[in-house]
Amino acid sequence: MKNKGFTLIELLITMAIMAMVMSVASYNYSQYSRYWHTKLGNYDQHQAQMRGKLQLRDALNAMAPYIVKNKKGDWVYYFLGRDEGLTFVTYAPIFAQQGGTSVVRVFKEQQSDGLFRLVYEEAPLTSVMLTQVDQVLNFQYRLVIADNLPDISFEYYGWPNRDAKYNPEASTVTSATWSDQYDGSITKLQPDKIRILSDFVNFNLTVSPGDKKLLNLFLPSDF
């Protein structure tokens, strides 16, 4: 009995089946690869955001009672709080070398779709002497802590002025309150507490106070 080889039609059918199998396998691999990279990318993004969140909390907790002069020449604490964000000095910056001090501003920035991103910017003071409240600084580092947030609110709990906080007679009339505005160049103080609220962060922090002893180094006749 003679062995019959493959006919041309059988060979073409076999090649067509193999091509279909390879096409299906390639498509499934492509879909799996896309799914994996999406999941991995989301995981990396989530990890980066969580790391940024913890670093931001550390920077806020290490807020420095830093004294400078305002436009009138008065000694005041370097702090500016607005409803869109805050600016302060920290002993625990994200980018500056360990042990360095930086001016940091944290603010909400609106995206093109109407949502917001929480942004951190930093100006190291390693080679700069900060002496004036309106001093121009180089915010050379920027980090987006989170994005696609419906809204971000900033609130500050503090006294309206230095006399109200340290003068017992004045403090019976005026007390510390929550507000979305707190300007250290006017109050000559830092706020006692800070709140930053959004879907991603929920910070309610107590600020380390700059006490009378520090003030008395600059204002020996005030108290």
Q: What is the per-residue pLDDT for 100?
A: 83
C-alpha–C-alpha distance, residues 22 and 24, integer Å: 5
Q: What is the per-residue pLDDT for 223?
A: 37
- Report yes or no on 118 lying in a domain: yes
C-alpha–C-alpha distance, residues 96 and 112, integer Å: 31
202-221: per-residue pLDDT in tens? 999 999 776 555 555 555 44
Mean of the per-residue pLDDT values of the chain: 84
Q: What is the per-residue pLDDT for 61?
A: 93
Query: Is residue 4 very low, low, confident or very high in pLDDT (cuts 50, 70, 90)?
Result: low
- Report yes or no on 29 lying in a domain: no
- Report yes or no on 148 lying in a domain: yes
Q: State both tokens at 100.
A: 């360095």
Q: For residue 146, is it left (φ>0), alpha (ψ between -120 and 50) or beta?
A: beta
3-state SS class at 4: coil
Q: What is the per-residue pLDDT for 205?
A: 93
Is residue 99 packed enough to be buried (19+ CB in 10 Å), middle (13-18) or exposed (0-12)? Answer: exposed
Of the ranges 36-40, 160-164, 214-218, which is most confident?
160-164
C-alpha–C-alpha distance, residues 151 and 199, integer Å: 8
Q: What is the per-residue pLDDT for 220?
A: 46
C-alpha–C-alpha distance, residues 142 and 104, integer Å: 10
Rounded to the nearest 10 degrees, how much is the dihedral formed by the CA atoms of 4, 6, 9, 13? 140
- Report yes or no on 223 lying in a domain: no
Query: Is residue 180 very low, low, confident or very high in pLDDT (cuts 50, 70, 90)?
Result: very high
The structure tokens 């609110």 sit at 153
pLDDT (average), residues 46-63: 90
C-alpha–C-alpha distance, residues 159 and 110, integer Å: 30
pLDDT (average), residues 154-175: 81
> By residue range, what is the domain housing residue 162?
55-218
- Report yes or no on 21 lying in a domain: no
Measured over the CA atoms of residue 50, residue 53, residue 58 and residue 61, the dihedral's sign is negative
Q: What is the per-residue pLDDT for 16?
A: 81
CA angle 102, 180, 211 (to 5 degrees): 55
pLDDT (average), residues 107-130: 95
Distances, alpha carbon 182 to alpha carbons 14, 107, 185, 203, 219, in Å: 78, 14, 9, 17, 22
- Report yes or no on 45 lying in a domain: no
pLDDT (average), residues 180-200: 94
Amino acid in the structure at residue 25: A
Greater pLDDT, 41 or 188: 188
- Counting the structural domains of the chain, the total is 1
Q: What is the per-residue pLDDT for 162?
A: 83
Query: Is residue 36 very low, low, confident or very high in pLDDT (cuts 50, 70, 90)?
Result: low
- Report yes or no on 176 lying in a domain: yes
pLDDT (average), residues 55-63: 93
Greater pLDDT, 31 or 109: 109
Q: Which residues, other chains included, contact 203 with Cβ-Cβ below 8 Å and sequence gap of 6+? A: 56, 57, 60, 194, 195, 196, 197
Greater pLDDT, 36 or 106: 106
Greater pLDDT, 26 or 82: 82
- Report yes or no on 195 lying in a domain: yes
